[in-house]
Structure 1
Amino acid sequence: MNNATETTNTFEPNHPDPKRSFKTNPIEPSGNFLLDIAPLILTTAILMVQFFVFKDFTPHIPLVCGIVITGLFVRFRKRKWLGMENHMYKVVKVGLPAIVLLITIGMLIAAWIKAGTVATILYYGFAIFSPSTFLAATCVLCAVLSLATGTSWGTVGTVGLALMGIGHGLGIPEPWTAGAVISGSFFGDKMSPLSDTTNLTPAAAGVDLWEHIKGMLPTTVPAMIISILVYAYVGIQYSAQTADFHDIELMRRTLSDNYHISLITLLPGVVVIGAAMMRFPALPTVLGGVIVACLVAVGVQGVDIKDLFNVLQNGVVSTTGVEIVDKLLSKGGVMSMTWVVTLTLLALSFVGALEFYGTLNAILQKINQFVRSRFGLVGTTYTSTIGIGVVVGDVYTTLVMPARLLKDKYAQMGYKRTALTRSIEDCGTLLSPLIPWNMGGGFVAATLGVATLAYAPYAIACWLSPVIGLVWLILNKFIPKEPPANIAKDADSDAIGNMT
């Protein structure tokens, strides 16, 4: 790069002295590909140590190390840390709508529990179980709860864990039960406007949230329908099983004793679903669900305002006396989102640092050498997303990096970025629980007590969705093109503008 043409800027809040200026434009690739991707390789090595040696699936500190490493390489290339830091903030800004929404979702979950919305869903959901319908019902119930709350991990760790015990009592093999739980939970996570991944992926790629969700329907819905049919078929062989429904009845009785179960408690869910169908912006949609749930909690469940404010901040602590129910209903609140919010901030910061150093640009230059068609474009999206998911193991980096890397390439080739974000979610969100050392796989295996490779073949919706995406790619279906007049404008659009 010609240094004479580079722009400079002063980061006023920290450096009021105009003499302390720094270059804000990203560094051009050096021409040495190994040097350009060295920070990514070193950070990946630290993540592998964290996952495999320390047996800890929290990637926060390795990502901090990655930012520091990238800063050292930036200095080696004779550029200043402040330039990289300024660019990190620009990338973090892209994810701010998703972060704000995550905090609000924490309030929503707590409000829905206090309103009895979650209890009502569980109460009626448990009523449909029988040995022959258990697997299909498990998948549907987990999908509904994950759609309603926007969290696959929360669904797996609560209802999913309870269903594992119920399935064992009904004589259903654990891998099949785990597969049904995971299929339903991650389907809801992927499709819910309340989900962190569903908000972060389009934000990173500059795509409207509702357009992103609409774009995922062609792969996700067929995969889910086929999965339910398979679970229903497999369940037939267990129809003659004798089962003890004591646990189910105990949970239903406990729920009815501690909550007023009625259709009116489902009103917060109706409001959220209705607002989503009317394509309201995500934040007022969630806030509307919080407000209605608070009104139901006060008017129907008799919750006082002081207690309501406390649970919105700190979450619900259930005290029914039944361990399974208390575990299901102890969650939510602003503070419950601290782990995922901080991870999102660090993942975005790391991607911003790599972007400034030129790592993403160097990888893109390699990609440009062989991407000449929709096959190369979508195929590159698949391989890069899966590759990052396998190597890095952090689902947020897995979603953000391909989005930042390929968003302009889709616009340049005349394809809508919804094809990009759908492919990223198919291969990132849905495959994360099938990779043993990925955050998703590690969490699910530890929570359900079933090895990742044992349940992976039975988590049908997770691996079938990207397969269906490849079928549509071959048939040239659901790979929408962008009108030529919009390509240049969209390529330069700001993600924040698309989210509002």
Structure 2
Amino acid sequence: MNKTELQPKFTLAITPVILTLLVIGLQIFYFGVFEPHIPLAIGLAITSLVGIRLGLKWTDIEEGIFHVIHVALPSVSVLITVGMIIGVWIASGTVPSIIYFGLKILSPEYFLVASMIICAFVSISLGTSWGTVGTVGLALMGIGAGFEIPMYWTAGAVVSGSFFGDKVSPLSDTTNLAPAVTGTDVFSHIKNMIPTTIPAMLIALVIYLIAGFQLVGTETVSFDKIEAITTALDANFTISGWLLVPALLVMVLALKKYPPIPSLFAGVVVGAIVAMVAQGASLESVFQYANNGYSIETGVAQIDGLLNRGGIQSMMWTISLILIALGFGGALERTGCLRAIINAIQSKVQTFGGTQAAAIGTSFATNLVAGDPYLSIALPGRMFSPLYRGLRYSTLNLSRGIEEGGTLMSPLIPWNAGGAFVITALGLQIGEGHMENLLYIPLAFACWLAPCIGVFYAATGLFSPKATRKEMRRWKKDDEEIAAGYPPISESETRMPDPRNHSNSG
């Protein structure tokens, strides 16, 4: 049996997906425990049984599982490096200095707006949403706590800005992946995303501005609390603008297009040096901070709760969740379940508006069930391309749609790689007594507004370019090469770009 052509019936293909989502819902909403690891492992087992029912051997399924995990290992490497950065940059005073200056300079009413803009700028510069969330985003959470803003509001603004910047940065891996799998170029792809990105950001800015005045009017802000936080920071750390050097170094290296993991690790090394020189930390303690995270008791609960974090070990919960989710996605792909579900969706759409909505929805659904933002871009991107060709619409529409359903929706799914990282890096406790922190999902306005605007454009025909003569000639050439015996690029080859050339994790 040719494994790559396995095509289960839709009812059988959708069964492991539905059962897995039901078990996840039971775990999170009935038991009140946010630990999707076991439900996803059960889903992997159910999918494997479906594969065996279809005639696959366990070794075939295992190969599919570990293939998807293998291609996403660069993202795991980023997680490990970001864990080190968080611990070391807190010890160096970099994060405390950002918090200190932020509380002194930023106005509480405009804090949410400023948070989104700052994260967007940093993410565009770095080309990585995860790196932005884990560094600048963490510091902004501390500033928000000082202003007594609910942490889910701050997290929503941080996620909106970070993933917006990632979406339009030519340094981002997903921004390069989407046009690669649809046959367009990266700068045309970025230009075509502007009509949905700008309105989504402007609407989000207005909402954050209104919310800022509602949440932190001057009559509700405790300036005594802000003073207590800044005094405690000043008493426990050397605070200086020079301590921002590690963060600036990483941004400079990213702008010069150095590989992401070495650039981030350079930030770890410089941060360690700064911690020893400026804060008097020993080499042994720096190693401890990088591995197990920073620990301090200042007597101010907000500071202790924020700064006692980081380190490689703090990322293990997220990494284990990502590996299991990726394994589940790999099993769904190898058994043909994902392909069967997408084909069923394709067969129901006849118009361009329906096709665009289906592409966005399929990317989101792949994110939802497979837990992998790369798979959510690559698989729909390859499978929907022929529909756009048949309708004579540019595949720029497709690349925009899968970016919106893939990149932007990833952080809004708690068991997805993006969502799991956001929850861990920002310290969003989820579970009994803390379920309100999941409100960051609807409050990340820019992330879900962009695909909604994209669906509206498709229905009305606005900002929906048709195929140019040049594009149609390229399609014809591709078809001729395939007919001559040159195979098209495989999904496995296009799932993720070379991690040596682009930033990882969005």
**Fold shared, TM-score > 0.5 on shorter chain:** yes
Task: State the shift of 1:341 in Å.
Answer: 1.0
Please give the residue correspondences for 1:407-426 in structure 2 after superposition, counting only pairs within 5 Å: 407-412=381-386, 413=389, 415=395, 418-425=399-406
State whether structure 2 residue 261 is matched by structure 1 residue 283.
Answer: yes
Relative contact order: is structure 1 or structure 2 higher (C-alpha 8 Å, sep ≥ 6)?
2
Task: State the shift of 1:294 in Å.
Answer: 1.8
Task: State the shift of 1:129 in Å.
Answer: 4.3
Please give the residue correspondences for 1:18-417 in structure 2 after superposition, counting only pairs within 5 Å: 25-26=3-4, 28-30=6-8, 32-130=9-107, 132-137=109-114, 139=116, 150=131, 152=133, 160=141, 163=144, 166-167=147-148, 178-188=152-162, 191=165, 218=194, 219-220=196-197, 222-232=199-209, 235=212, 241=219, 243-371=221-349, 375-387=353-365, 397=371, 399=373, 402-412=376-386, 413=389, 415=395
Task: State the shift of 1:119 in Å.
Answer: 0.9
Checking the alignment, whether the CA contact within 8 Å between 2:181 and 2:378 is kept in structure 1 is no
The residue that corresponds to 1:21 in the other structure is: none
Q: Normalising by structure 1, what TM-score?
A: 0.76
Instruction: Give, in whole Å, the separation in 2 of the partners of 1:304 and 1:216.
Output: 50
- Deviation per CA, 1:11-57: give whole Å up to 9, x if none: xxxxxxxxxxxxxx246214x32123222222222222212222222
Q: Normalising by structure 2, what TM-score?
A: 0.75
Task: State the shift of 1:217 in Å.
Answer: 6.7
The residue that corresponds to 2:450 in the other structure is: 465
Checking the alignment, whether the CA contact within 8 Å between 1:178 and 1:450 is kept in structure 2 is no
State whether structure 2 residue 454 is matched by structure 1 residue 476.
Answer: no
Instruction: Give, in whole Å, the separation in 2 of the partners of 1:381 and 1:88.
Output: 24
Identity of aligned residues (%): 29
Judge which range, 377-386 or 318-327, deviates more.
Answer: 377-386
The unaligned stretches of length 5 or more in structure 2 are 480-486, 501-506
Instruction: Give, in whole Å, the separation in 2 of the partners of 1:116 and 1:73.
Output: 52
Instruction: Give, in whole Å, the separation in 2 of the partners of 1:486 and 1:273.
Output: 39
Checking the alignment, whether the CA contact within 8 Å between 1:180 and 1:459 is kept in structure 2 is no
Checking the alignment, whether the CA contact within 8 Å between 1:67 and 1:353 is kept in structure 2 is yes
Judge which range, 231-240 or 304-313, deviates more.
Answer: 231-240
Task: State the shift of 1:317 in Å.
Answer: 1.1
Checking the alignment, whether the CA contact within 8 Å between 1:95 and 1:204 is kept in structure 2 is no
Q: What one-letter code is carried by the residue in structure 2 that aligns with 1:402?
A: S
The residue that corresponds to 1:429 in the other structure is: 410
Alignment length (residue pairs): 459
Judge which range, 330-339 or 318-327, deviates more.
Answer: 318-327
Checking the alignment, whether the CA contact within 8 Å between 2:152 and 2:438 is kept in structure 1 is no
Change in Cα spacing, 1:148 to 1:62, as seen in structure 2 (3 Å) is closer
- Deviation per CA, 1:344-369: give whole Å up to 9, x if none: 11111111111111101211221332
Task: State the shift of 1:201 in Å.
Answer: 9.3
Judge which range, 81-90 or 254-263, deviates more.
Answer: 254-263
Task: State the shift of 1:326 in Å.
Answer: 1.4
Change in Cα spacing, 1:455 to 1:299, as seen in structure 2 (3 Å) is closer
What's the secondary structure of 2:147's corresponding residue? helix
Task: State the shift of 1:387 in Å.
Answer: 4.7
Checking the alignment, whether the CA contact within 8 Å between 1:206 and 1:495 is kept in structure 2 is no
Instruction: Give, in whole Å, the separation in 1 of the partners of 2:300 and 2:99.
Output: 15
Q: CA RMSD in A?
A: 4.2
- Deviation per CA, 1:234-285: give whole Å up to 9, x if none: 6567766374301111111111222222221111111222222233322122
